[in-house]
Amino acid sequence: MQLTETPAEKLFRDEIREFVAARLPPDIRDDVLAFKHLGRDHYVRWQLILAERGWGAPGWPTAYGGPGWTVMQRAIFDDECYRGGAPRQIPFGLSMIGPVLMKFGTPEQRAHYLPRIIRLQDWWCQGYSEPGAGSDLASLKTTARRDGDHYVINGQKTWTTLAQFADWMFCLVRTQSEGKPQEGISFVLIDMRSPGVRIRPIRTLDLGAEINEVFLDDVRIPVANLVGTENGGWTIAKFLLGHERTNIAGIGMCRRLSASLKDYARQQTKHGRPLIEDVRFRDRMVKLEIDLLSHEWSLMRLVSLEQAGRPIGAEASMLKIRGSEIQQDLGELLMETAGPYALPFVADALNTGFEGATAAGVRLNSLASLYLDLRKVSIYGGTNEVQKNIIAKSVLGL
């Protein structure tokens, strides 16, 4: 088990750190580190900079335009991008539909879509969840009926992250209603500009509008947009959900929150002294720092096992649970650095380019919203309760 970086990995880390410091546009970095709501342009600009350097698809093999990095190099890359204040790379293309097309797509689908993902020419969104199908995904009801060379799709998807920016949606649809629910699902690609696609934003607790409902009314797609076989979508759906393993730990976000916490605690004061010198506050910070350190070591342990060829199983569920708990704890303490100023937050100040005033100042204004936004991390990617079920079943044999 390798728990420290080799000299070559240290050099690699330096290279990424220098690149991010030199090439990440300062306006993007400032908005990211102020926890603002980012626009499509923030993500696309940074993605193009990475793509030009050959790092647009860090997890992909060289055959498809990736750098062919080891698992450890990918972890270092993610870490340095987070540390330097870069926007996250949008996962829907790179970590979800990209690997799906590599494994299940036709040569035509791969040749068309994969290069466009690297340059974020196509923004993808994920059409899995429905109002009646979340944890129990196989109960989904959106239908696709074959009509000549087309499928006609009807139904509703929900919680669709950043659908408002999306050009394409990969989508689970029901192509057969008899038999086991899992056996009648197909995996299709929908052009979001097709007639019959309607998007309605869902306003979240933090007053953001990152997630949406997507209504599909008689949407026609060519049969060529089917991935894999008709009724064979469940295997693909599971492959996609299980594909991205290391990011699930949320280490990059934890580190960013931890760095911000220290920064805010140095600047905020209590009884005329920096908050960071308050013994009780420090105790809580130190406890979280220890939690984070042990979480990082767990990830390193698993990354090193994966690098040695052992696939990660239910440990990914453990990383998901722990990572989301730590992010939420850090977010809560971070909000407390603002004290009463966390309360009257102004939603508009979270948008980039805001030039007005807020009671707390723009800097503190985003902390309550961040706290509220972080409620989501124990829900998406499989809720923490469902992750606990997986551990109970496959590790404890219950």
Task: Identify which of residues 176 and 383 has a Cβ nearer to ligand FAD in the complex.
Answer: 383
Q: Is 389 in the site for ligand FAD (CB under 6 A)?
A: yes
Contact window for ligand FAD (CB under 6 A) among 54-62, 123-131, 193-201, 351-359 = 123-131
Binds ligand FAD (CB under 6 A): choice among 209, 347, 362, 379: 379
The residues, any chain, with a CB within 8 Å of residue 350's CB and separated by 6 or more, are 35, 36, 37, 206, 207, 208, 365, 366, 369
> Applying CB under 6 A, does 126 fall inside the site for ligand FAD?
yes
Q: Are 308 and 2 in contact (CB under 8 A)?
A: no
Is residue 380 a contact point for ligand FAD (CB under 6 A)? yes
CB 80 within 8 A of CB 16: yes
Cross-strand bridge partners of residue 215: 156, 198
Question: 50, 34, 23, 88: which is closest to 250 by C-alpha?
Answer: 88
The reply to whether 385 sits near ligand FAD by the rule CB under 6 A is yes
- Closest approach of ligand FAD to the CB of residue 12, in Å: 32
The CA distances from residue 126 to 44, 45, 219, in Å, are 18, 22, 17
Residues 241-280, interacting with ligand FAD (CB under 6 A): none
**Could you tell me the CA-to-CA distances from 214 to 126, 154, 199, 202, 218 in Å, in that order?**
10, 11, 5, 10, 13
Single out the residue of 71, 20, 146, 74 nearest to residue 305, CA to CA. Answer: 71
- Looking at the Cβ atoms of 362 and 391, the one nearer to ligand FAD is 391
326: nearest Cα among 251, 383, 387: 251
Nearer to ligand FAD, 76 or 190 (CB): 190
Using CB under 6 A, which residues numbered 133 to 152 contact ligand FAD? 134-135
The residue within the footprint of ligand FAD, chosen from 372, 386, 390, 391 (CB under 6 A), is 386
Q: Catalytic: which of 244, 289, 325, 332?
A: 244
Question: Residue 355 catalytic?
Answer: no
Q: Binding residue for ligand FAD (CB under 6 A) from 128, 234, 341, 345?
A: 128
Instruction: Judge whether 118 and 56 are in contact, CB under 8 Å.
Output: yes
* Burial class, 367, CB count within 10 angstroms (exposed 0-12 / middle 13-18 / buried 19+): buried
Q: Which of residues 150-209 bind ligand FAD (CB under 6 A)?
A: 159-161
Alpha carbon of residue 29 to chain centroid: 18
Tokens 């797609």 -> residue: 221
Rank residues 170 and 345 by Cβ distance to ligand FAD and give the closer one.
170
The CB-of-325 to ligand FAD minimum distance in angstroms stands at 14
Residue 376 found at the interface with ligand FAD (CB under 6 A): yes
Stretch that binds ligand FAD, among 74-82, 146-154, 314-322, 381-389 (CB under 6 A): 381-389
Q: Which of 270, 346, 383, 390 binds ligand FAD (CB under 6 A)?
A: 383
Cβ proximity to ligand FAD, 354 vs 380, nearer residue:
380
Are 221 and 191 spatial neighbours (Cβ–Cβ below 8 Å)?
yes
Least spacing, CB of residue 126 vs ligand FAD, in Å:
4
- What residues act catalytically? 244
The site for ligand FAD (CB under 6 A) is made up of: 125-129, 134-135, 159-161, 211, 376, 379-380, 383, 385-386, 389
